Amino acid sequence: MATIGVIGGSGLYEMEGLLNVNEVSVTTPFGDPSDKYITGTLGDVQLVFLPRHGRGHRFLPSEVNYRANIYGMKQLGVEQIISVSAVGSLKEEIVPGHIVIPDQFIDRTKGVRKDTFFGNGVVAHAGFADPVCARLSDTLEAAARTAGATVHRGGTYICMEGPAFSTRAESFMYRDLEAAVIGMTNLTEAKLAREAEICYGIIALSTDYDCWHNSHEDVTVEAIIKIIHQNVAMAKNIIRHAVGNIAAERSCPCATAMQYAVITDRKVIPAKAREDLALLVGKYL
Helix (H, G, I), strand (E, B) or coil at 115: coil
Q: Please compute Rg for the chain using Cα positions.
A: 18
- DSSP secondary structure, 216-274, as one string: T----HHHHHHHHHHHHHHHHHHHHHHHTTS-SS--SGGGGTTTTTB-S-GGG--HHHH
Bridge partners, 51 (sequence order): 8
Catalytic residue among 103, 115, 210, 276: 210
Sign of the torsion angle spanned by Cα atoms 248, 239, 207, 163:
negative
Instruction: Say if residues 146 and 241 touch (Cβ distance below 8 Å).
Output: yes
> Is 107 designated active site?
no
Identified catalytic residue from 35, 103, 115, 208: 208
Give the contacts of 235 (CB within 8 A, at least 6 positions apart): 8, 12, 84, 203, 205
String of b and e for 29-56 (b: at least 16 CB within 10 Å)?
Answer: bbeebbbbbbbbebeebbbbbbbbbbee
State how far the Cα of 192 lies from the Cα of 113, in Å rounded to an integer: 12
How, if at all, do strands 2-8 and 19-24 pair? unpaired
Annotation marks residue 208 as catalytic? yes
C-alpha dihedral (255, 260, 263, 267), degrees to nearest 10: 90
Q: Which residues are catalytic?
A: 208, 210
